[in-house]
Structure 1
Amino acid sequence: PIVVTHTDKNALEIVDGFHRHEIGKGSSSLKLRLKGYLPVTCLEGTRNQRIAATIRHNRARGRHQITAMSEIVRELSQLGWDDHKIGKELGMDGDEVLRLKQINGLQELFADRQFSRAWTVK
């Protein structure tokens, strides 16, 4: 099915299945067979939860781009999600979250972290 969510404007937004939707709209034989309807399931949740759901759907099919994923991890981090929550919601382990954060730059993403003082060898 096509996965959708309700928007503030009383409309539906496609979370997963955009290409199926386009094919369903454009194929007259498919329209006839499905009587003009496409199977849809509605997903509830916040924008961040919808982003996470889209990523999970794409990862399940093996379709995710590293640069796009790192941007999403950066955005979720800026919205206050910690590494554990990002990993849990996106189906990643801690190392993968860290690697994706590193792609977009360390300074901004690790600004809230406490580091130990440097030491030197005498």
Structure 2
Amino acid sequence: MGDSVTPEILSNMIRQYFSQERPEEEAIQALNHLRRVLHEVSPFAQEPVDCVLWVKADEVVANDYNPNVMSSSEKKLLKHSLEQDGFTQPVVVSEEKEHYLVVDGFHRQLLGRKADTRKRLKGWLPVACINPERKGQASRIAATIRHNRARGKHQITSMSDIVRDLSRLGWTDERIGTELGMDQDEVLRLKQISGLTELFQEEDFSPAWTVR
């Protein structure tokens, strides 16, 4: 067992690798590669926070369904926190083919692009990718709503629009309630707010709305 690699030997090899002069982007990509490898063998591989990656800010794209609204005072406090404490929470994203779609952390990624923070982060943002099985429009929407509701922040009108969209995507009231943490009365009320009678009757939908 004399040839076995110990954590100390591995640490020294990593330090030696990064002590060599190389472009910054190459070093960041190497760090991401190592984090992915560690994530693969981690006992916490099912937890997205176990693998925080640095990606280019321009590759992080906001979603178009987030009902979370932040007041100007909250934005100011978040900006101050990012400046004083740094990024303590990654932006939660879905890893797509050509970009990373924001699931949670819209305001963090937005402020991360501002001049001062962008300069400090060298144009990169920390992200945690949701588990692959949670991909797909409906699952992403549900994940975003769960994050927002866990903080007690969401807009009723936007929530009703999302319930409408999930219903059109083929989700039952029971599934909507389970995934979004609502009882059936709340689901029904949000459907009523949307004012769409189609949600209460049988209707054929385009294949484009079908969840696969």
Q: Is residue 2:177 matched to residue 1:90? A: no
Q: Is residue 2:17 matched to residue 1:17? A: no
Letter aligned with residue 95 of structure 2: H
Matching residue of 1:117: none
Matching residue of 1:40: 127
Higher helix share: 2
Aligned with 1:28 (options 99, 110, 116): 116
Q: Is residue 2:176 matched to residue 1:74? A: no
Maintained 8 Å contact 2:93/2:101:
yes
Matching residue of 2:57: none
Q: Distance in 2 between matches of 1:31 and 1:88?
A: 42
User: Which of the two has higher C-alpha Rg?
Assistant: 2
Maintained 8 Å contact 1:24/1:30:
yes
Per-residue displacement from partner, 1:56-86 (whole Å, max 9, x unpaired)? Answer: 1111122211111111111111111100100
Q: CA RMSD in A?
A: 2.2
Matching residue of 1:104: 194
Q: Distance in 1 between matches of 2:144 and 2:193?
A: 21
TM-score normalised by L of structure 1? 0.79
Give percent identity, aligned residues only.
62
Q: CA deviation at 1:36?
A: 5.3
Give structure 1 stretches of 5+ with no counterpart. 113-122
Q: Is residue 2:148 matched to residue 1:58? A: yes
Give structure 2 stretches of 5+ with no counterpart. 1-89, 203-212
Work out the number of aligned pairs and report it.
111
Letter aligned with residue 4 of structure 1: V
Q: Distance in 1 between matches of 2:125 and 2:167?
A: 35
